[in-house]
Amino acid sequence: MTWYGRHFRLIALRLACSLSLIAASGAAALGQQAADQAPPAARMLRAGACAIDVTPLTFPVKVNGGMTERLSSTVTDPLHARCLVLDDGSTQIALAVVDSCVMPGALIDSAKEMVEQRIGLPPSQVLISATHSHSTPSVLSILGSGQNDDYAVYLAQRIAEGIVTAHGRLTPARIGWAVGSDPRNVFCRRFIMQPGTAATNPFGGTTNDRAQMNPGYQNRDAIARTGPVDTDVSVLSVQTRDGTPLAVLGNYSTHYAGAPELSADYFGVFARRIGQLIGATGTTPEFVGIMTNGTSGDANCCDFVNPPREFDYRTVGEDVAQAAWAAYQQIVYQDWVPLATACETLQLGVRKPTAEEVAQAKELLAQIGDRPPASIPEVYAQETVLLADWPDTRPVPIQVIRIGALGIVALPCEAYGSTGLAIKQESPFATTFTIDLANAYCGYLPPLTSSCWEATPPGARGAAILRCRPSRRSAPWSCPCSQGSGNSPPPERPIDT
């Protein structure tokens, strides 16, 4: 399930181009900053890693990620916050990747504040992201799901403890990175449909929307995918000076695979398997495998163009780990690289429901009374009413991290593959990857390009249109909706910035 955010309904405009500019200008500034601060002669990189258990202590727990709330008292595999701290002698950065569907900014800010109080590391130098497993305890009320308030407090404390522990393990290290590929488990899940066939009306039935998510396998009404996907498996490896593996951080842009509750999904499988593949089982210090979620807002493991295939979170984790292992073997290590961070907050425009839509939503909600919403139309109606009270703009924090010639762009959204590819194409770094669901949760972030458009009903979580002027580098795909299909994109609205 994919519509999100009781407290986070981002309607964003223009981010693909904006982020490319931020990455470019930020990287130039970061390069100069790091060069100016680089220590003389005997430069040393240090690194520390920790995987801290964040499995809940009390049950049952609410699980989000679906349209309605689920309760679970079962643990399929442990949940973790997997942490990596780097120190180039003048700058320290920390990355924590948490087995959670999504995390609100308040929880993440709380964890960062605890880190700063204990080890003095500023929040701007800490990246905290969720993996987006849909089999984890809810810490954010989303759609028909509530949140586990006590667990949210516990989770923030454990994230901070994991970062502090990793910081305490700093040891002389070397670092390197490479990029592999896994095209087997990432496909665009949104399609342009034949007119009148996209069942996307928030209160049931169909409208004139043309894009539909998950249309089913070999649906004859599905004309074409709405965009490209990013098949890269990026790998950042950290070792001790003598070559003992400390951590491998991977990045892949597929949504999740699906796992029994509670579970870290394929992200946890990757973390275990990559350690086995590189021979890091039983090493000292303890090896930490980490998998981050890239720009996967419109991607999942299902190839709807072809007949269904068999896969699950174990096979996906294995495939991605094997791709990472192939890339890992090509890594050339460096004993020191400059580190730097830059942060910027964008004020992005919110697309509001119309007065008529709000009236329709209120009419439906009046029929269900005080009970929680139990169907898609009811959830959409609830979201429409809540969204109507939102401000016209909202802040979206963006973070850029430099690790030598590697750039990481952290987004608080579920961005689409085309956005991630645009960032990589425009980035001044030799290698770049994006981490979604980082430092806050701001909903889905669909793009608008010269060849296709994305529209989501205003009652949806993250109901938005991202309007972006086409990149100077044309997209390597096109959509028939702009090529004589008889249904033109909606007229451009002024861009709010």
Q: How far is CA 178 from CA 27, 175, 233, 339, 383, in A?
A: 19, 11, 9, 18, 42
Find, among 361, 370, 348, 399, the residue nearest to 8 by Cα.
348
Q: Are strands 187-188 and 299-300 parallel, antiparallel or unpaired?
A: antiparallel
User: Does residue 473 carry a pLDDT above 70?
Assistant: no
Find, among 427, 439, 441, 443, the residue nearest to 124 by Cα.
439
User: Are the C-beta atoms of 426 and 472 separated by less than 8 Å?
Assistant: no
User: Are the C-beta atoms of 381 and 203 separated by less than 8 Å?
Assistant: yes
At 371-407, the pLDDT tens digits run 888 888 898 899 889 889 988 888 999 999 999 999 9
User: Are the C-beta atoms of 132 and 101 separated by less than 8 Å?
Assistant: yes
User: Does residue 293 carry a pLDDT above 90?
Assistant: yes
- The confidence score (pLDDT) of residue 481 equals 29
User: Does residue 35 carry a pLDDT above 80?
Assistant: no
Question: In 57-118, which ranges are E strands?
Answer: 61-63, 70-72, 80-87, 92-98
User: Does residue 413 carry a pLDDT above 90?
Assistant: yes
Q: Mean pLDDT throughout 320-341? A: 98
User: Does residue 475 carry a pLDDT above 90?
Assistant: no
* 3-state SS class at 319: helix
Q: Mean pLDDT throughout 407-420? A: 95
CB neighbours of residue 87 within 10 Å: 21
Q: Are strands 444-445 and 414-415 parallel, antiparallel or unpaired?
A: parallel
User: Does residue 126 carry a pLDDT above 80?
Assistant: yes
Q: Mean pLDDT throughout 121-147? A: 96
Q: Average pLDDT over the chain, rounded to whole?
A: 84
At 152-205, the pLDDT tens digits run 999 999 999 999 999 999 999 999 999 999 999 999 999 999 998 887 666 665
Spatial distance between the Cα atoms of 138 and 457, rounded to a whole number of angstroms: 24
- The confidence score (pLDDT) of residue 278 equals 98
Q: Mean pLDDT throughout 132-150? A: 95
Q: How far is CA 404 from CA 31, 95, 236, 339, 407, in A?
A: 8, 16, 12, 6, 8
At 451-470, the pLDDT tens digits run 333 434 332 333 232 222 22
237-251, 318-332, 339-353: the lowest-pLDDT one: 339-353
What's this model's pTM, rounded to 2 decimal places? 0.87
134 vs 25 pLDDT, higher one: 134
Q: Mean pLDDT throughout 110-131? A: 99
Q: Mean pLDDT throughout 113-129? A: 99
458 vs 238 pLDDT, higher one: 238
User: Does residue 359 carry a pLDDT above 90?
Assistant: yes
Spatial distance between the Cα atoms of 444 and 142, rounded to a whole number of angstroms: 13
At 304-313, the pLDDT tens digits run 999 999 999 9
- The confidence score (pLDDT) of residue 345 equals 93
At 282-292, the pLDDT tens digits run 999 999 999 99
- Phi first, then psi, for residue 381 (nearest 5°) are -65, -45
- The confidence score (pLDDT) of residue 23 equals 54
274 vs 206 pLDDT, higher one: 274
Percent share of the chain, pLDDT over 70? 80
Confidence of residue 34 (pLDDT cuts 50, 70, 90): low
Q: Mean pLDDT throughout 91-95? A: 99
User: Does residue 123 carry a pLDDT above 80?
Assistant: yes
At 246-269, the pLDDT tens digits run 999 999 999 999 999 999 999 999
- The confidence score (pLDDT) of residue 446 equals 79
* 3-state SS class at 218: coil
- The confidence score (pLDDT) of residue 24 equals 55
- The confidence score (pLDDT) of residue 102 equals 98
Find, among 442, 435, 437, the residue nearest to 349 by Cα.
442
The answer, yes or no, to whether the previous bond of 346 is cis (omega within 30 of 0) is no
At 40-78, the pLDDT tens digits run 556 999 999 999 999 999 999 999 998 888 999 999 999
Confidence of residue 297 (pLDDT cuts 50, 70, 90): very high
User: Are the C-beta atoms of 344 and 257 separated by less than 8 Å?
Assistant: no
User: Does residue 478 carry a pLDDT above 50?
Assistant: no
With vertex at residue 381, the alpha carbon angle to CA 378 and CA 386, rounded to the nearest 5 degrees, is 130
1-15, 18-32, 200-214: the lowest-pLDDT one: 1-15
- The confidence score (pLDDT) of residue 474 equals 28
